[in-house]
Structure 1
Amino acid sequence: MIYTLGSTFCEARSYQMSDVDQVQKSQPSPSQSHDDVIAQFKWQGKQIDWLLQWLVKFVANTKVELGVTLSVGGNLVSGHLISHDTYFEQLADDISAPFSSFANGTDATMKEMILSFKPGESSEDTPAFHFIHLKDCRTYSTDGNPICDAGVLWRGRISAVDGFTIGLIAEKPGVS
């Protein structure tokens, strides 16, 4: 199947991963040594939601931006899911901006340094992503009040996400 997103074409692939498969794959086998099991759990950390990981990879490959709301440690984080490339480009602009008043090219150096952290081109063979990036992000505490409502750039570990929904949290009427 081919889906059209604006001018981008995406091929839908059949992924043979379910929640049951993920749990079974994360279980240590009886033949593994204690050190292998510890290394496996250190590598895996908290179990990663394969669907969220796929969504992050989809956004990275298509450059689509998608509104999401994440549950992270009891707080809600709501923003536009962006690719890692877009994240690092915006981060480089934000960090280098204060240095533009210097005449010695410090801003360009800072921007170049931040862009050097950007991962290479992604493809279908790219290993799974472990970080999620949002722009125009707002964080809400458990009482519903915004902790950060300015709309910031945000980066977090996918393994730290407890749950997610597609869509943004709507602002309360009369609240800015």
Structure 2
Amino acid sequence: MSQESKDSVLEFLVNIANEHDFSLDLTLNVKGSLISGTLVSAKEYFETLSETFEEGSEISEKISEQLAEASESAAKGGSEVHFIHMKNTKVYVGDSKPTPSKGKVLWRGSLGNVDGFFLGKIAESKTSTSKK
């Protein structure tokens, strides 16, 4: 993945998120899909992911520990960013409902695969079930 394949403005926003624990609502165009959610730091992403494994089997706890270490490493920064991290994410493909339609979903994607973006999230339309 070359530096030229990443959008420099989006990479700048990811760097700001990582360095200052900054968050921002974004919608990304990735290979024909729309990924809509809130940009978060890699540190927050790994901390939140780690929490999902804390309570459970011995293997789950080891996964949690490894993710916590990744969070600490991400907090140090200083290296080139290759991934974007989002929370409360929904994926839109065509005119169908977003996937997943419920829950707080974490998403991680390659900056080199993002074709475009805009600020803000896609608001879910509240369709009326009453007939006129």
What range describes the TM-score normalised by the shorter chain of this pair? 0.7 to 0.9
Partner of residue 115, structure 1: 68
Correspondent of 2:118 among 132, 140, 165: 165
CA distance in 2, matches of 1:128, 1:108: 29
Unaligned runs of 5+ in 2: none
Q: Tell me, yes or no, if structure 1 residue 147 matches structure 2 residue 99.
A: yes
Q: 1:106/1:147 Cα in 2 relative to 1: closer, same or farther (>3 Å)?
A: closer
- Partners in 2 of 1:155 and 1:127 — Cα distance? 17
Counterpart AA for 2:122: I
Give the corresponding residue for 1:72.
30
Q: 1:95 aligns with which of 50, 53, 63?
A: 53
Q: Which deviates more, 82-91 or 144-153?
A: 144-153
In the alignment of these two chains, the number of paired residues is: 125
Q: Displacement of 1:147 after TM fit? A: 2.4
Larger RCO (CA within 8 A; separation ≥ 6):
2
Supply the distance in 2 between the matched residues of 1:90 and 1:163 (Cα, whole angstroms): 26
Structure showing greater Rg: 1
Q: Would you say 1:57 and 2:15 are equivalent positions? A: yes
One-letter identity of the residue aligned with 1:154? W
1:79–1:136: 8 Å Cα contact kept in structure 2? yes
* Separation in structure 2 between the aligned mates of residue 141 and residue 96 of structure 1, nearest angstrom: 33
Distance across 1 between alignment mates of 2:89 and 2:70: 21
What value does the CA root-mean-square deviation take over the aligned residues?
A: 2.1
Aligned to 2:83: 131
State, as a whole percentage, how many aligned pairs show the same letter: 32
Question: What is the letter of the counterpart of residue 157 of structure 1?
Answer: S
Length-normalised TM-score, structure 2: 0.83
| Cα separation, 2, equivalents of 1:127 and 1:45 | 13
Tell me the equivalent position of 1:8: none
